[in-house]
Structure formats: C-alpha cells, structure tokens
C-alpha cells in the first residue's frame, strides 16, 4: 500500500480534531465539565487518547475551543439563513438571538463555558475563537459602527453579561427581558431576528452539522486580524 499523501493526512487530522470537539460539547452538555474526562471524550470521538493531548494542552482548552466552534457555527447559520439579508440591523438582531438561544437551549454547556472564562487562563486563543470574533466584528461593522474596534468588545461584553444573567443558578433573568434590554440599547425593533413568541418549540438538536467537515471556510483560514476584524473574542 502506497503512503498517504500529505493532503490526505491533513484531512484525517482535521476530522479527528473535529470529532474531539463534537464529543467534548456533547459530553459536557450531558454530564457537566467536572464529570467529563479526556478519556471519555476520546472514546466518544473514536480516537486514541493520545490524540487529545496532541491537539489540546488540556480539558479546559479543548472544551473552550469546542464551545467556541458551536457558537461561531450557530452564529454563522443564524446570519446566513433564508431570507439572506445584508441589513445590518437584522443581522445584529439575529446575532443576539443566536447567542441567547444557546443559553436557552444548552444551559449546562454555556454555564460551564462562562465558568471556564473566569479561570486564570481566560479566553483560549484558537481558530474557533478567532472565527467567532470575526463574525461578531463583521456584524458590528454592518450595523454601521464607525469604531468597530471599540464597539465590538462592548457587544461581546453585553452578550456575555446577558448569558451570565440568564444562567445564574437560583436567580436567572428571563431571556425575553434580556433580549428587550439589548434590543433597546441597539435601537432594534422587536420583530427583527427571531422574537421569542415566533420561535417554534424544538427538541435538542443533533450537533454534528456544526462539526462536520465540508466546503465551508474553515476557522484556520481566517486571518487573525484585519480592517474591522477583531483579533480576539
């Protein structure tokens, strides 16, 4: 049998990494961060356990990268769903609804993610996180911000604060109230995006589409910075 080409090896490595990301999201969503082990993630992904440490320095870095992948693909899907639009106000409304929707649909996962961000290492700088930053920065630019470098971090902070408020054990704020506050701040009409009363009730979705390989632009190809494109999230 002839040796595999470098391109084939690269594709196999990419698929292995994405299976690990998907497994991490699924297991933390099901069992929480502490109860999820690297061995369990490797087993769910069908990968050798040594591959986990090859791609990621530890469990927290793996889980943060996995959640950032879920967030950026969820955001990407929300921004580009039909009917497609270039209207900046509609796109900002969709972005807000996408992030709040994750807090509603994946509370365990998002609560663990927020807790991880408060650890000493803070944000994990990775391709998934950079892609999320690019999408949010582009959303702010299309909304009409004259100072994306300043307004993007504020949007990020507002969204993080809303997710935190929605998930505080014992005293969670209702997501419609948080949405109303964000929409008022940005001057968005309630009917934009996906208003809570119009969103159909859904069952927990299969996450595989957010981690599948394909023709879409991969996070690793995103430049780390550029005009109107923040380098971090």
Query: Where exactly are the structural domains of the chain?
Result: 59-195+209-216
What percent of the chain has pLDDT above 70? 83
Alpha-carbon gap, residue 139 to 162, rounded angstroms: 18
**Tokens describing residue 1:** 């049998």
Q: Is residue 229 helix, strand or coil?
A: strand
Closest CA to 20 of 132, 128, 135: 128
- For residue 121, pLDDT over 50 is answered with yes
Question: E strand or H helix at 127, and its extent?
Answer: helix 127-143
Q: Domain 59-195+209-216 - what CATH class? A: mainly alpha
Q: What is the mean pLDDT of residues 80-87?
A: 94
Q: Which of the four pLDDT bands, split at 50, 70 and 90, describes residue 205?
A: low
Residues 61, 41: contact at Cβ < 8 Å? Answer: no
Q: Give the per-residue pLDDT at 11.
A: 75
**Which residues of the chain form beta strands (DSSP E)?**
none
- For residue 214, pLDDT over 80 is answered with no
- Of the ranges 1-10, 50-59, 110-119, 148-157, the best mean pLDDT one: 148-157
Residues 163, 103: contact at Cβ < 8 Å? Answer: yes
The 10 Å Cβ neighbour count of residue 185 is: 12
Q: What is the mean pLDDT of residues 43-53?
A: 89
Q: What is the mean pLDDT of the chain?
A: 85
Residues in contact with 59: Cβ distance below 8 Å, sequence separation at least 6, in sequence order: 33, 36, 37, 38, 41
């Amino acid at each position: 049998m002839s040796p595999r080409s470098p391109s084939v090896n690269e594709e196999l490595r990419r698929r292995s990494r994405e299976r690990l990301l998907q497994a991490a999201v699924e297991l933390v969503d099901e069992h929480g961060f502490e109860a999820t082990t690297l061995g369990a993630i490797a087993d769910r992904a069908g990968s050798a356990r040594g591959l986990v440490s090859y791609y990621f320095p530890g469990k927290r870095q793996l889980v943060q990268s996995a959640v950032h992948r879920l967030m950026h693909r969820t955001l990407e899907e929300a921004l580009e769903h039909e009917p497609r639009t270039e209207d900046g106000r509609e796109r900002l409304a969709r972005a807000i609804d996408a992030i709040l929707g994750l807090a509603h649909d994946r509370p365990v996962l998002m609560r663990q993610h927020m807790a991880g961000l408060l650890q000493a290492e803070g944000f994990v700088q990775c391709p998934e996180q950079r892609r999320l930053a690019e999408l949010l920065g582009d959303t702010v630019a299309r909304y009409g911000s004259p100072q994306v470098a300043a307004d993007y971090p504020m949007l990020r902070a507002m969204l993080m604060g809303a997710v935190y408020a929605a998930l505080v054990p014992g005293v969670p704020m209702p997501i419609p109230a948080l949405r109303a506050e964000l929409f008022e701040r940005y001057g968005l009409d309630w009917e934009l995006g996906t208003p809570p009363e119009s969103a159909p009730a859904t069952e927990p979705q299969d996450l595989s589409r957010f981690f599948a390989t394909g023709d879409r632009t991969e996070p690793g190809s995103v430049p780390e910075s550029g005009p109107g494109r923040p380098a971090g999230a």
